[in-house]
Amino acid sequence: MSNQAVSCATTFCVTNGQTFHSDEWTTLLALLTIPLIIDKSILTFAGSFFSQTRAVSTNPAACTINGATFGKWKIVPSNGVTARAQVSCTIAGCTVNSSFLPTGTGGVLCDGGGSYRATSVGEKIQDIMDAIVAFFQSLMAGFAKSEVIRIKQRRFTVLRQLGEGGFSYVFLVKETTPGIHPTAADLYAIKRIRVQLPEQEQRLRQEISAHGAVNSNHVLKLVDSVILRGADLKTRPSASGMDLPVLAEGLLVLPYYGGGTVQDLIDSIPPGDSLELKRILEIGVDVAKGLIAFHKKNPPLAFRDLKPANVLLQIGELNNAILMDLGSVAPARIKLTSRRDAVALQELCAETVTAPFRAPELFDPSSDAVIDERSDVWAFGCTLWAMAYQTPPFDGSMTAAVGGQLIFPSREPYGPAFRALLKDILVTDIRQRLFMDQVLIRVENLLGSISSA
């Protein structure tokens, strides 16, 4: 492998509306000199990234670097403004091998709507670096295609990486077990979880158990699973390329849904636009039903880590929203009897519950607190808010959550009934907060009122 510096030359690099002169960069991206074959994973990444910058789209202008075709992208002028040079390629927000468009030049996507506008030189270098890292990881995921994962008597061939977390990776796979006839239904997602500490193995087993605890169309089902040890265990490389010692490895086979997550849906909203209230409430009904499936268990379970990124969208006739990532599911009702219990719960939630969606009682529980499933109701309200206003209502600090101050945008299209619903859900005192079945009735009633209007 040899590296080649790719800079902006006479161009601006554009990321999320910020522009950077070429002299601010020495090296943009180190590319492999061997030809790379672009596949759907890279296009999916590029599409999601460029839908944020709103600068490029598919069109018959192919980009080739080091003999590798990276897709067909083109900037299209609008309002009578003509680009001063033909765009040859855009990677990670940087227009390569092209003269720049002047500051203030407008353009539109060929087939997705939205606008592009170059602004003054900014300071968000880290934004571009993050985009480059994500893009390069997406490229490298293509090299795992030949890997075969064996789970019991089944064989799965890795197609591409879908995502990763602190200790886990998710891959799109196709079942290639001898004797089966390949169909679209043979596509799955495999979640590979590294276990480096005994408590991580306990959480892995709890995640597997949580899948089996409920049966709902709105909770992701577990197709198969295995925990590998000893000779069956392979050491997996870390992001830095160094091998990490592991005690065990969990492999979870899950259904694959191509609709992305609610967070993907939020990220795709053009600036100045918003989701329809009907769509927000439809997703809310499905999520509420999924949560209730956990809350109605005996004893009740709490999902704990509800957020838009943990809600899948199913494409097709059902068009369901589905809860995924059950790694934080835990007993819902906890009676604390000491400061030690309170600190233990606080530390667990700091590790397993995403801060901007974490309920106040999980930030700093008192030594005599009673916690129940209504912590999920708070996260549900934050998720509705994020769908409506593209950001959660709180910044992830304990001060913001405990204070509970709701600041609605000055211009919002949803009306007083929706705002009242959010206020009634996001009550800081868990003892005064609604239960999930009560919330579901409120959401269904509001959905019914706008559907019949």
Query: Active-site residues: which are they?
Result: 305
Q: Residue 77: is the preceding peptide bond cis (ω within 30°)? A: no
183's CB contacts (< 8 A; 6+ apart) are: none
Question: Is 191 assigned a ligand-binding role in the annotation?
Answer: yes
Beta strand pairing status for 76-77 and 89-91?
unpaired
Long-range interactions of 267-270: CB distance < 8 A, separation 24+: 267/48, 267/51, 267/52, 268/48, 268/51, 269/390, 270/54, 270/113, 270/114, 270/115
Which of left, alpha, beta for 129 (phi over 0: left; psi -120 to 50: alpha)?
A: alpha
Residue in 24, 15, 43 with CA at minimum distance from that of residue 124: 15
Amino acid 251 reads L
Could you give the CA distance from residue 443 to residue 441 in angstroms, rounded to a whole number?
6
Query: Residue 132 in contact with residue 28, Cβ under 8 Å?
Result: yes
Annotated binding site: 191
Annotated binding site for ATP: 191
